[in-house]
Amino acid sequence: MAKILIVDDEIGIRELLSEILRDEGYDILLAENATVARAMRNAGRPDIVLLDIWMPDTDGITLLKEWAANGQLNMPVVMMSGHGTIDTAVEATRIGAIDYLEKPIALQKLLAAVKRGLQRPLAPGAPAPLTLAAFTRSVPLRELRRRVEQIASSSRLLLLRVGAGSLAELVARSVNDGRAAWLDLAAISAPLDISQLQATQGGVLFVGELARLSRAQQKNLAFAVDRLDRYDLRLVAATDRSAEALLAEGWEEALVSRLFEVSLAPPSIADVRDDLPELASQILLHLVEGGEVPLRSFSTAALNQMRNLQWPGGYAELRAAVKSLALGTLEEEIGAGDVRRLLPPDAAASSIGVSFDQPLREAREAFERLYFEHHLRLEAGNMTRLAEKTGLERTHLYRKLKQLGLQAGRRHEEN
């Protein structure tokens, strides 16, 4: 018989609903808040969830959004509320709830909603891509999500100023909540066709690194930029280059000017190091829900070991590592030993992007470049704060940046 998870902070309602549904032959799981509901949903795999909206720790709408963002909304959810509104019901349905019941819930309405939910076929295919909405505990990632949403509400184009450890793809996936069509322009070498833009209408165009685009791909990008309004498209592009550097490499001035109109410097994985356990855990959960890996979880020791790496390859590298660990470990829990055995043996060195096999002078220069790139990004190009942070006199600092081929941040000179 089907398994039903009832989530409500009122014990009387939980007992009443569970008694009714047990009499109908259903298996019942009970949760008094969102924290317990998360654990019950992951462990029990219910066939349907009855979810209260008003709860003390995390409300039902927020939990529903979280499941949708995590790719976990692969079971029908019926919302319940004693004082809901039409707007709340519409929002819940938009997120993915299949029904809405007002308290006190009539017996026949309850049974009918459960029956409809269990008979309703789930949409086939993989869950929606992981987005920033999945990371509810990280303050920097929550703030980043709000900034991205605010910019996307007013601009069709967003340039991400990134460096090593980029979260660019995760940011781009978060535009339009990850549900919209997606087109990676860097994956297209032939001339871009109108039909491709039409097929992506209302969706997101993405470029992971502008500097890697060929001349033909730059033309495709210009073609797409001119048609964002016509096809209701958003463009998210990322680069670690300045506008001047792209122009020096032969980019068209008009296109570069348009691309740099609205920019954002999102944090790197190194900047949110303390949140890496949540990043890795949510990536693993999403892979499990998508059927890409077997059921696995991380031990605290494994997460702490992964947190000590800086992941210069960014989100893509971290996701690949999590997938490798989940597929390669022999136990249900991924331990610190698995991280040591299954990740590259020189991960500690590669995590800062410096090879131990090169001459000392070259290794030192590579490290200095990464060091100053990191602090330039943290201080948003403010040379006064950068000089204070690095302990260098301003003239020496400018000379050092020039030697390393880095753009000195002459903007934002005020404290």
Instruction: List the domain boundaries for the chain.
Output: 3-119, 132-264, 273-350, 360-403
Q: Which CATH number fits domain 3-119: 3.40.50.11720, 2.40.50.140, 3.40.50.920, 3.40.50.2300?
A: 3.40.50.2300
pLDDT category at 403 given cuts 50, 70, 90 is confident
Residue pair 316/353 in contact (Cβ under 8 Å)? The answer is: no
Q: Which of 36-50, 190-204, 370-384 has the lowest mean pLDDT?
A: 370-384
Of 157 and 349, the structure prediction assigns the larger pLDDT to 157
Q: Same CATH fold, 273-350 and 3-119? A: no
Q: In the predicted model, is pLDDT for residue 389 greater than 90?
A: no
Q: Is 308 helix (H, G, I), strand (E, B) or coil?
A: coil
Backbone phi, psi, residue 5, to 5°: -100, 120
pLDDT: which is higher, 71 or 340: 340
Residues with Cβ within 8 Å of residue 315, at least 6 apart in sequence = 166, 167, 168, 169, 170, 269
Question: Which residues partner with 79 through β-bridges?
Answer: 51, 100
| CATH architecture assigned to 360-403 | Orthogonal Bundle (1.10)
pLDDT at 352: 52
Q: How far apart are CA 283 and CA 399, in angstroms?
A: 41
What SS3 state is found at 181?
Answer: coil
Question: What integer pLDDT is reported at residue 405 of this predicted model?
Answer: 79
- Least Cα distance to 293 among 311, 320, 261 occurs for 320
Q: What is the mean predicted confidence (pLDDT) over 78-103?
A: 84
Q: What is the pLDDT of residue 412?
A: 42
pLDDT of 355 reads: 56
Residue 4 phi, psi dihedral angles, 5° rounding: -115, 130
Flag whether pLDDT at 303 surpasses 90: yes
Give the position of tokens 């200095």.
368
Rg of the chain over Cα atoms, rounded to whole angstroms, equals: 25
Question: What is the predicted pLDDT for the residue at 65?
Answer: 86
* CATH code of the region 132-264: 3.40.50.300
314-359 pLDDT, tens digit each: 898 899 999 999 999 989 999 998 988 887 654 444 445 555 556 7
Q: What pLDDT is stored for residue 124 in this prediction? A: 47
Contacts with 150 (C-beta within 8 Å, 6 or more apart), sequence order:
none
Average model confidence (pLDDT) for the chain?
86
- Weakest-pLDDT range from 59-63, 306-310, 347-351: 347-351
User: In which band, very low, low, confident or very high, does the pLDDT at 180 lie, cut at 50, 70 and 90?
Assistant: confident
What would the pLDDT profile of 103-152 be if each residue is shown by its tens digit?
A: 889 999 999 999 988 887 655 455 678 889 888 888 999 999 999 999 99
Please report the pLDDT score of residue 353 as a whole number.
55
Choosing among 1.10.8.60, 3.40.50.261, 3.40.140.10, 3.90.1570.30, the CATH entry for 273-350 is 1.10.8.60
Count of helix runs (H) and strand runs (E) in the chain: 19, 12
Comparing 5 with 93, the larger pLDDT belongs to 5
